[in-house]
Structure 1
Amino acid sequence: MRTVDISAAETTGDRRQLINVAYRLLGSVTEAEDAVQDAYARYYGLPRSRREAIRSPTAWLTTVTGRICLDLLGSARARRERYVGAWLPEPLPARAEWSQAGGADPATSGDPADQIVLDESVTTAFLVVLESMTPAERVAFVLHDVFRYPFADIAGVLGRSPAACKQLAASARRRVSASGTPASTADQADVVRRVKEAWEKKDIAALVRALDPAAVMTADGGGMVGTVLRPVEGAARIAQYMVAIADKAAGLELLERSVNGAPGLVARRAGVVVTVASLEVVDGSVTRIWVVRNPEKLRPWARAGNEFT
């Protein structure tokens, strides 16, 4: 990837916005950063006369970033077929935890993870639903429903008519609606706490009570660390698996932390974050657990993780 010298004063706002768009489209901080960097490289690679003729550099950069992400999404399925086990989005810590850990101001930080706004459009549950969409649906939905770009502009990204883009967004919206309504943050935090306490006590019965009977746990180790390669289904099997892990994981510390803006769990050993878990709570029970253990996806937690208390 070519590095571009970009004026911070000129592009801080634009870059932050583009990183936020790209992360929601790709589910990967690293890929989002690369996509945005590529867009800037293309912009500054234009002859000066062509750059000066662009009426809105922000709109131009957004369009190009969207096209780059669309291309990446198109090839993602093939790449993920070679991925060892399940692929999950990269989890992000809360910005407050960055601040408490002495992290840089998000407005000036060079770390793209610091610049991502954590809201309902980046919860793990939402990102997983986005993964079920076609690349075109995902781009149309994210740009329109999340960032409020008009379909006329989205048409320039997708190379389709505004009417076709509107249909794509509507189809994606139906997928989101079908995924159900998650619990409030307070209710989710209460259930997450019950799971943590039951896990620490190795209480299988309590874990089963906290889980929906048809709950599913999916883990992402990327072939770099040990974990289940296929989803574990059913409350009893998940509870038994969690207790078995607790028996083997001497010295593992479990913490309640915000994961992608929602209550979740973080496990660390010797001060190093080794696992980040997101939980989906519906009607007071955990319906889905997404566990990320791939060290490459835990890089945003490395700095903040050392300061967790």
Structure 2
Amino acid sequence: MDPHDFLAGRFEEHRGRLRGVAYRMLGSVSEAEDAVQETWIRLGRSDADEVENLGGWLTTVLSRVCLDLLRSRASRAEEPLETRTHVPDPLVGALEDSDPEEQALLADSVGLALLVVLETLTPAERLAFVLHDTFAVPFDDIAPMLGRTPAATRQLASRARRRVRGVGTMPDPDRQRRVVDAFLAASRSGDFEALLGLLDPEVTLRADTGAADSSCLIRGARAVANQAFSFQRMAVHARPALVNGVPGVLTVVAGRAMSVMDFTVGPHGITELNILADPDRLARLNHLSDVP
């Protein structure tokens, strides 16, 4: 076998995991794919025969690529992430997806609510938390990536853990589907009281349109219901879909994806609504309009 083809085959064995790490680190589908591609390029430039643990080597290289991207992103930001209305890229698929690879990616995905919180962490905190708590990478291996001691790296992950506590628990998909269906029914019929009844009193709505003057962050059931009530005109074009592995809503008009809506459902109703309606970013997410 050609050595390049052999190396490519070995890399493909790790691609799924690398995509998972990069997506959690970056919250961006396109940047995650770029990071994985850059890792492949660096592998091609290295002496791969000398690499004893290819999976660990690839994870280390990918993590450093992601860390550089996060630091660059932070240095370019005109305002802190905590004050911006930003929704990370969603992973969208059909509720009954027949593509095993896509279904596996969605099943292993992380909710947008958790990604929103991860984006409030420092790059070092995010790397330490994602690698250790999600992918079980030892602190001794993470520390050299950050130029810190294992003890200091453990503290970074601990601080991150406190920030994300209580966020990201995967819901009961059947209950989530019922809530999403009820939300769509109330929106289409214009039943404000039914819509209000689906919301937790402390619900948060985050809508990212890509423009500062039209993006919004709204808290409280009545205020969120008023905002969601304006969705009635578009609700006829909405369809249930898998959004980061759980039922959500995709809105498509004339073959063009207009928005993706992610729901977090708690004991007392919907606790968080994350809506991506940025046309430029939606256009970069592949095949959204093809979801049946």
TM-score (norm 1): 0.82
Structure 2 match to 1:246: 232
Amino acid corresponding to residue 24 of structure 1 in structure 2: R
The letter for the 2-side match of 1:61 is L
Q: Which amino acid aligns with 1:76?
A: R
Query: RMSD over aligned Cα, in angstroms?
Result: 2.9
1:228 is matched with which residue: 192, 198, 214? 214
Where do residues 1-309 of structure 1 align in structure 2 (5 Å cutoff)? 8-46=8-46, 50-81=47-78, 86-94=85-93, 99=98, 106=101, 114=102, 117-119=105-107, 122-179=110-167, 183-223=171-211, 228-247=214-233, 249=234, 252-299=236-283, 302-303=286-287, 305-308=289-292
Going from structure 1 to structure 2, the CA distance change for 1:182 and 1:268 (only over 3 Å counts) comes to: same
8 A Cα contact 1:24 1:127, kept in partner: yes
Aligned equivalents of 1:245 and 1:95: distance in 2?
A: 22
Where 2:260 maps in the other structure, the secondary structure is: strand
Structure 1 residues 131 and 263: alpha-carbon distance in aligned structure 2, compared to 1, 3 A threshold: same
Aligned mates of 1:24, 1:181 — CA distance in 2: 15
String of CA shifts for 1:64-105, please: whole Å, max 9, x gaps. 11011112112223444379x622111112376553xxx6x6
One-letter identity of the residue aligned with 1:92: L
Deviates more, 1:211-220 or 1:21-30: 211-220
Distance 1:188 1:146, change over 3 A: same
Distance 1:116 1:181, change over 3 A: closer
- Supply the distance in 1 between the matched residues of 2:248 and 2:111 (Cα, whole angstroms): 10
Matched to 2:175, the amino acid is: D
What are the superposed Cα offsets for residues 224-247 of structure 1, whole Å, 9 maximum, x if unpaired? xx9832212222222222223424
SS in 1 for 2:271: strand
Shift in Å, 1:270: 2.2
Amino acid at match of 1:43: L
The 8 Å contact of residues 222 and 294 in structure 1, kept in 2 or not, is answered as yes
Is the partner of 1:88 in helix, strand or coil? coil
- Which is further off, 196-205 or 34-43? 34-43
> Which stretches of structure 1, 4 residues or more, deviate above 6 A after TM superposition?
none
- Separation of aligned partners in 1, 2:94 and 2:68: 30
- Aligned with 2:17: secondary structure? helix
Q: 1:245 to 1:31 in 2, by over 3 A?
A: same
Distance 2:171 2:103 in 1: 26
**Which piece of structure 1 moves more, 139-148 or 227-236?**
227-236
SS in 1 for 2:148: coil
DSSP 3-state at the match of 2:259: strand
Structure 2: runs of 5 or more not aligned: none
Is the CA contact 2:196–2:225 (under 8 Å) kept in the aligned structure 1? Answer: yes
Contact 1:137 1:171 in 2 (8 A): yes
Q: Any conservation in 1 of the 2:97–2:103 contact (CA below 8 Å)?
A: no
Distance 2:240 2:279 in 1: 19
Judged with a 3 Å threshold, the aligned counterparts in structure 2 of structure 1 residues 55 and 264 are, in CA distance, closer, same or farther, namely: same
Q: Are the aligned partners of 2:257 and 2:288 in contact in 1 as well (CA < 8 Å)? A: no
What CA deviation, in whole Å up to 9, does each residue of 1:40-76 have, x standing for no partner? Answer: 2222223xxx443332232222111101111211222
> Do the aligned residues in 2 keep the contact of 1:272 with 1:306 (CA within 8 Å)?
no
- SS of the residue 2:200 aligns to: strand
Q: State how far apart, in whole Å, the 2-side matches of 1:307 and 1:183 are.
A: 22
Which deviates the most, 53-62 or 287-296? 53-62
Write the distance in 1 (CA, Å) between the matches of 2:228 and 2:281: 21
Q: What amino acid maps onto 1:229 in structure 2? A: S
